[in-house]
Amino acid sequence: KYNIQIALAGYSKKDIEVKVEENTLLVRSNKETPAEKQDVIHQGISKRYFERHFTIADDVEVLGAELKDGLLTVSLERIIPEHKKAKTIAIK
């Protein structure tokens, strides 16, 4: 089992989208970026649009995601098919 953790202070559950397509896990914000202001020197992550892609193997399944105290945790599990598991061969 594996976890991917992303710090997302200032975001709520409705502001984040977690999606799996083929072998890619996508985490992105739904927040609209306000029009650029010329007097702003720095905007924290909670005010910006972001998108992160993670490549996952064919045998990895996404179990779920949880946002708690500004930390998004996506749970993954590697499921090994029977034909790839180690086998003990009896000696005759």
pTM value is 0.72
Q: Is 12 helix (H, G, I), strand (E, B) or coil?
A: coil
Higher pLDDT, 12 or 33: 12
Contact 28, 51 (CB under 8 A): yes
Query: What does the pLDDT average to over 22-42?
Result: 74
**Structure confidence at residue 33 (pLDDT):** 55
Higher pLDDT, 34 or 51: 51
Token pair listed for 35: 């029009």
Contact 23, 56 (CB under 8 A): yes
